[in-house]
Structure 1
Amino acid sequence: MFAALSVQRRERLGRRLAAAVLTSGLVAGGSIAGTAVAVADENPQHQGGASATLNGLTTYDDAVLKLNGGKTKKLPAGLFEMAVDGGGTLKTYCIDIHNPTLPKAKYLETPWEQTSLGSNEQAGKILWVLKNSYPQVDDLADLAKKADAGSLTKETAAAGTQVAIWRFSDGADVEAKDPAAEKLADWLEKSAEKLQEPKASLSLEPNAVSGKAGSKLGPITVRTNAERATVTAPDAAGVKVTDKNGAPVTEAKDGTELYVDVPAGTADGTATFNVQASTSVSVGRAFASLSKSQTQILAGSSESTVSATGSAVWAKQGAIPALTAEKNCAKGGVDVTAKNEGDEAFTFELADQKVEVGAGESKTVTVPVGEDQPYEFSIALPGGETKTFKGVLDCKTSAEPTTPPTTGGNGDEEPGTDPTPQSGGTTSGSTGGDTTGGGDTTGDLAETGASNATPMIAGIAIAFVLLGGGAVFILRKKKGAAAGQ
C-alpha cells in the first residue's frame, strides 16, 4: 500500500509506487480487469457537493519538519487553490503532510468520516483554526496582535495556519521558519477548541431508490446549505420528480422530500436526475482526491456550483434493488448496500460472499479495500444494466516510517517525507533545503513543482494502467434472482 512506502528519492518514487500497487494486497475474492480504467473517469462515487480541480499552492512560506534521527526537512506551507466544476474557487490547506499533491488532481467534497479526519480526535480543533486564522480572518494586524506575533504577511499567516493544522492532522513535529508565523502557529494550537463538522453543501439521502412502476419512489431528502437548488427532469420519458402529492418539483431547499413518479405501464428501467445549487461551501469541509493526492480541508469558498445525482430503478415484478455505496474508513473498505423493493429475492456475489436480499429487505456488505488503493465495483441489475462505484480509499495520513532505508541512498535523506504541496508553477526556482544529518538537500521548493514530481506521477499512472484502475469486480446476478431473466 502507498501509505507504507519509504520515499528515498524522487527518481525512485515512481518505480516504488508502481511496484507497491502491483504487489499490495488486493481486495479478497475479486478479479482484476484486463483493461485500463482510470480512477478519475466519469461518474466517480460521490455523495454530492462540490467537485474541483487543484490549481496549486498560491500563498505560502517555509516550514521545517523534524524527522527521525534529528534531521530536518524544509517544505512550503500555505494555501492551495482549486477551480470548482461549473464555476467557483476554493482555498484549502492540506491535512496529510507526508503525501504529495498531484498536478491538476480532481477532488470531491467528502464527509469527515470518509477521510483521515473521521478517526482523528483533533479534527474539531482544525476547524477552529480555520475559522480563527487566515484567510477567514483577513485583518492581519489584529491576528498578529492576538498571537503576539509582531507583523504578519499573507504568506506568513498562511504558513503559520498550515503548520498549526499539520500538528493536529498529522501529529507532525513541524515549525514555521518565520518567527511571526511560528508564533501564530503556537497560538492557534494552544487556543484551538473542538468544533462540530460543518454540513455538506449539497447531498441526497438516500441518493438511490427503487420500486414498482405505477408508484412514487422515495422519498429522497435534499440536504443543502444553499437557499434553493434546481431539480432537473429525469432522463427517462414520462418519469417525473414530484412531491409526495405528485406535484412536479423543479426547485428544492434543505429538507425537501423528492419522489420519482413512474407512471403505470412504464417499461422496466432506470433514470437519474440532478440537483444543483450555487452556494459558498462551508469552511472545514474535507476534499478527497480521486487519485493519490493529499487530502485537503476548506479554508474559504467563493459562490460555487454544487450538485448531487439521484437515481431510481423500477420494474413490474421480480427483484428491484436500489444500490448505494460509501467508504467505511472504520472498517477499511467500502459499504455496498442493496435495498430490494421487489417481490423476489435479489442475489449476487461480492468479495467471496453470496448475498441474498429478500423482498422488502436491505443488506450492507463491506468490501475490504487496501489503503490508498483505487477500486471499481460493477453490479449487474435485473434487466441487464449495471451499477458502478469507483474511487480511492484514502482514510489515513501517511505516518513517517521509523526504520531506515535498507537499499539505495547515502543515508542522509529521511524516508517518508516527500514535499507536501504541489506548486503548480507558482515558483520557478529553489529556496534550498536543510538536513542536519548529512549533505543531501531535501525539501527543495522546486521539488514541489511539476518538473521533479514527474517520476512520481508517471509511477502512479503506470501502476494504475497495469492494474486496470485498481481492484475491479464484475458482480453477476444469479439466475432466477429476478423475473424475466
Structure 2
Amino acid sequence: MFAAFSAPSARRRGAARLAAATLVSGLVAAGPLAAAGATAADGTPQSEGGATATIGGLKTYGAAVVHGGGTDEQLSAGLFEMSVDNGGTLQTYGIDIHNPTQKEARYHETSWSGTSLNGNKNAGKIRWILQNSYPQVNDLARLAAEAGAKGLTEQDAAAGTQVAIWRFSDGADVDAVDPQAERLADYLEKHARSLPEPAASLTLDPPAVAGHPGERLGPVTVHTNADSVTVTPPADAATTKVKIVDKGGKPVTTATDGSRIYFQVPKTAQPGWGQLTVQASTTVPVGRALTSETRSQTQILAGSSESTVSATTTAAWAEKGAIPALSAEKNCAEGAVDISAVNKGDKAFTFDLMGAEHTIPAEASQKVTIPLQEDQPYDFTIKGPAGYKKWVKGVLDCKTETAAGGLKIQTLSRPSPATAGGTATDTNLAETGTSSATPLIAGTAMALVLVGGTALLLVRRKQTSTHD
C-alpha cells in the first residue's frame, strides 16, 4: 500500500561550485530546405519519457552528521515530495549529499546511465534499501525489530534510510543523529543486496522515425508498466491526414506494453513532421532516478501514487531530399550527450554542432557524441527540412559533489533559505559554509552569429546558486 507522503531530506552543499557557462547552439541544416511543410512549433526538452514532476520540499526528516576534512556538518535527512505534471505525487531520497535542491526545480524520470549512479557498483544496493525500508515498509514496529532499534518514528525511519543511501550513493561518512535512526542505517547498509535497475514507467522506442509519404513509418514500440496507454496523434493530423495505426493499418487510440504502432502518412502529404504522444496513469517503479533541468540534486524514487506519465516520438517525411530522425541521450560513461541521427532520405543531411560539421549520408545512421564538462548546462536545437526541429536541453550531472576540505560546518536545527540562479528562495533547504555570504559565481557570456551561414552558436550566462 502506498504510504502517506512524508517528504525527503534536504542536502547541503559544503562549498560553492563553479558553474559552466550555459551553452546554446542553434543548428541549422545545410542545403536547401524541402518545399512547403508545416513549420514546427517549439519542441520539448530532452526526456526519455515517464514522469515529469516539480520538487516541493522536505516533509518527513530527521538529522544527520557528515564527517570529513576534520569537520562535521549537520543536515536534514529524509524524504522529499514531488508533484507530478497532470496528477500524482512522488516520494524521493537524494543521492548527491553535498549538492542543494533548487526550489520548485523540474525533474524527469531517467535511467541510471544518465546520472551519478552510472558505474556505481552499489547502485543496486540502493534499490534494495528503497524496497526494504520506509516508506515501502510502513510497519515501523516491524522495521525497528528487524534493525534492532527500540522504536522508530517516521522521522527516524526516513533519516536512517537516507543515511544508508548516502553511504552507497556518495561513499559518504555520514551518521544519523538519533540512535534508533542510526541503528536502522547500519542494518540497511549491512543487509543490502544488489538488485537490477527498474524499467521505466513509460517509454517509446525509437524516439524518432522517418520515411516517405505513402509509407507506414515505424514501428514504434511501447514499453510501460501501465495496463494501457492513451495514444494521441500529431496536433495537425486533421490537416495532414497522418494517422496512428497498427501493423495492419487499423487506427490506434490505446496501446499496451509491447504494442508496435506506426505513423500512416498519406501519399499526397507535403514534406513535414509530426509528434505522437502516449500517456498513462500508473505508479512509477521504486528505484527510478529523477534528474533536474537545472543543477538541482539528483533524486531516487522511494514511493509513488497513481501518477500521470507520458512519452513522445517524432516522425519526419518527404518524397525526396534529406529526411532526418534525431534523438538525444545523456551519456555519463563518456561525459557527453549522444545525438543519434538517422537519415531516410536520398540526400545527405548536414548540420553544424559545436563548431564541427556532421554529415549523415542518405539511408544511413550515425551517433554524434558531444563532450561536455561536468555540471555544464546545454541547450541547443538541431533544425532540418520542412521545419523539423530537435530540442536538447539539460545539465550534465554525472558525478556526486564533494565538500571542500577545511570548512567549518555550522550546526543547523532546521533548514535555512537558499537561492538558485540568484533568484528564488527555498526555505526547505539548509546551507553551510564559513561566511554569511558566498559570492555569486557566474559564467561568462559570449555570442557568435554567422549571418547567412548554417549555424548559430550562443554561450549565455549561467548563474549558480548563492549560498548564505
With the length of structure 2 as denominator, give the TM-score of the two structures.
Answer: 0.83
Partner of 1:305: 308
Offset, 1:355: 1.6
Deviation at 1:161, TM superposition (A): 0.3
**Cα drift, residue 244 of structure 1:** 1.3
CA distance in 2, matches of 1:42, 1:383: 14
Partner Cα separation in structure 2 for residue 302 and residue 212 of structure 1: 42
CA contact (8 A) 1:211 1:217 kept: yes
Q: SS of the residue aligned with 1:118?
A: coil
- Name the CA shift for 1:249/1:384 in 2 (closer, same or farther; >3 Å): closer
Aligned residue runs from structure 1 range 402-417, under 5 A: 402=405, 404=406, 413-414=407-408
Which runs of no fewer than 5 residues in structure 2 stay unpaired? 1-12, 28-41, 426-439, 456-468
- Cα gap change, 1:102 to 1:244, in 2 (>3 Å): same
Contact 1:32 1:471 in 2 (8 A): no
**For residues 263 and 377 of structure 1, do their structure 2 counterparts lie closer, same or farther at Cα, with a shift above 3 Å needed?**
same
Cα displacement (A) at 1:183: 0.5
Identity, % of aligned pairs? Answer: 53
The equivalent of 2:156 in structure 1 is: 156
Helix, strand or coil at the partner of 1:159? helix
Structure 1 counterpart of 2:280, one-letter code:
A
Higher fraction of helix: 1
Give the superposed CA RMSD.
Answer: 2.9
The structure 2 residue matched to 1:444, chosen from 394, 405, 412, is 412
Aligned counterparts of 1:53 and 1:459: Cα–Cα separation in 2: 14
- Superposed CA deviations along residues 304-340 of structure 1, whole A, max 9, x for unmatched, are 0000111111001011010111101111111011100
Alignment match, 2:343: 340
Q: Does structure 2 conserve the Cα–Cα contact (< 8 Å) formed by 1:220 and 1:257?
A: yes
Q: Which string of whole-angstrom CA distances, capped at 9 and with x for unpartnered residues, describes residues 279-320 of structure 1?
A: 000000000011111100000000000001111110010110
Three-state SS of the structure 1 residue aligned to 2:157 is helix
Structure 1: 5+ residue stretches without partners: 1-5, 34-40, 405-412, 415-434, 436-441, 479-485
TM-score norm. by structure 1 comes to: 0.80
Cα distance in structure 2, aligned partners of 1:465 and 1:163: 34
Aligned: 1:85 with 2:77: no
Find out whether 1:186 has 2:186 as its counterpart. Answer: yes
1:261 correspondence with 2:229: no
Cα–Cα, structure 1 residues 383 and 377, in superposed 2: closer, same or farther, change >3 Å? same
The answer as to whether partners of 1:349 and 1:475 remain within 8 angstroms in 2 is no
Whole-angstrom CA distance in 1 between matches of 2:452 and 2:154: 52
Say which of 349, 352, 362 aligns to 1:349: 352
Q: What count of residue pairs does the alignment treat as equivalent?
A: 414
After the TM superposition, which of the residue ranges 158-167 and 348-357 deviates more from structure 2?
A: 348-357
Q: What's the CA shift for 1:264? A: 0.3
- On the 8 A contact 2:91/2:301 being kept in 1, the answer is yes
Name the SS of the counterpart of 2:379 in structure 1.
strand
Aligned residue number for residue 383 of structure 2? 380
Task: Classify 1:287/1:250 alpha carbon distance in 2 versus 1 (closer, same or farther; 3 Å).
Answer: same
1:366 aligns with: 369
Q: Partner of 1:119: helix, strand, or coil?
A: coil
Deviation at 1:391, TM superposition (A): 1.1
The residue correspondences of 1:238-257 to structure 2 (distance < 5 A) are 238-257=241-260
Deviations 1:343-366 (A, max 9, x none): 111112223332221111100111
Instruction: Tell me the alpha carbon deviations over residues 237-264 of structure 1, each in whole angstroms, 9 at most, x when there is no partner.
Output: 2001111111111101111111001000
Distance 1:240 1:465, change over 3 A: farther
Does the 8 A contact of 1:379 with 1:476 survive in 2? Answer: no
Shift in alpha-carbon separation, 1:211–1:455, aligned structure 2, 3 A:
closer
- In the other structure, the counterpart of 2:419 is 454
In 2, Cα distance between the equivalents of 1:273 and 1:217?
12
Cα deviation per residue 1:382-434 (whole Å; 9 max; x = unaligned)? Answer: 234432211111111112334x4xxxxxxxx34xxxxxxxxxxxxxxxxxxxx
Displacement of 1:67 in angstroms is: 1.7
Q: By how many angstroms is 1:234 displaced? A: 1.6
Partner of 2:221: 221
Pair 84,445 (structure 1): closer, same or farther in 2 beyond 3 Å: farther
